[in-house]
Amino acid sequence: MTAEELAEREAEVAEVVAPDRDIAVEIGDTLLSMDAVTMRFGGLVALDAVSFDLKRGEILGLIGPNGAGKTTCFNALTGVYRPTSGQVRLEGQPLGRRSRHQITRLGIARTFQNIRLFGEMTALENVVVGADARHRTSVVGALLRLPRHHREERQAIDRAMALLEFVGIAHRAADKARNLPYGDQRRLEIARALATEPKLLCLDEPAAGFNPAEKDNLMGLIRKIRDDGYTVLLIEHDMRLVMGVTDRIVVLEFGRKIAEGLPSEIRENPAVIAAYLGVPDDATA
């Protein structure tokens, strides 16, 4: 597809980015639950009976020192790992032994600490790949180029362009992903995750490698994503970003949950201060 065709297609895209949602669902009910989730790797306990709830429509921060178990937690709830014990529930439904693809279709999408894009594909094509998770055309239908396949293909391109506009890189649609600046690659990965129409978007250190101005822009994008109807679970080391954008925070240390609360509560929590400074709890009193 040429740049001119992309520009023409962009002009056709509707302004509404969010997929249709059940407006009868009340914001604030529990979307996801981690129920005493334990992850063991041989003799190593990476998560030790971790429990927390994520409310629909909120931005929840998951923080902790290096090695606290944050990414392991992400991997457990997105199907990369299967918990040794405990349950992950989405809208009350246990995820059990479902595959990563099945979990994506249920409504959980994620980005990665190390960017994973298809470098030789354009930005638009990368986002269209995300939209494929929602396609219903069979392999035979795609091979025969049946009308349903054409319709879904057109809709995927329209939505991909809308999402590139949403994250602020529509002008890069025709560029190969490997040629994008680092910050735009981060935004592209977020757009691709949103293309799966998730109920929950999990962001794994999205500000890694960003300068202060880029972090400020990222905070605005995360708020915009939530305001558009998504629920966000965020792993991030930058405490200024976490404190500035989250509604609640869960803190892990050595695989255990040591605190949970509002950003203002977490900021003053002696156990959290001790975890980050490496000093005994009583030394922070």
Other C-beta atoms closer than 10 Å to the C-beta of 124 total 26
Average pLDDT over the chain, rounded to an integer: 84
Q: What is the domain count for the chain? A: 1
Please choose, from the candidates 269, 270, 264, 263, the residue with its C-alpha nearest in 3D space to the C-alpha of residue 284. Answer: 270
Q: Any residues with CB less than 8 A from the CB of 109 and at least 6 apart, and which?
A: 130, 193, 194, 196, 198, 200, 201, 202
Helix ranges restricted to H, the chain? 3-12, 70-77, 100-106, 123-131, 139-143, 147-167, 182-194, 212-227, 239-245, 263-267, 270-277
Please choose, from the candidates 136, 110, 137, the residue with its C-alpha nearest in 3D space to the C-alpha of residue 192. Answer: 110
> pLDDT tens, 46-66?
999 999 999 999 999 999 998
pLDDT value of residue 139: 42
Q: What is the pTM of this model?
A: 0.81
Please choose, from the candidates 282, 250, 277, the residue with its C-alpha nearest in 3D space to the C-alpha of residue 265. Answer: 250
> pLDDT tens, 135-178?
455 444 444 455 665 576 788 899 999 999 999 999 999 999 99
Share of the chain above pLDDT 70, in %: 80
| Cβ contact 194:230 at 8 Å | yes
Report the alpha-carbon distance of residue 255 to residue 67 in Å, rounded.
Answer: 8
> pLDDT tens, 169-214?
999 999 999 999 999 999 999 999 999 999 999 999 999 889 999 9
CATH number for the domain that contains residue 53: 3.40.50.300
> pLDDT tens, 232-284?
999 998 999 999 999 999 999 999 999 999 999 999 999 999 988 765 545 44
| Cβ contact 161:155 at 8 Å | no
Half-sphere exposure in the Cβ direction for 134 (13 Å, CA): 23
Residue 187 lies in domain? 3-284
> pLDDT tens, 6-28?
555 444 433 333 444 443 334 57
Report the alpha-carbon distance of residue 79 to residue 104 in Å, rounded.
Answer: 9
pLDDT value of residue 145: 54
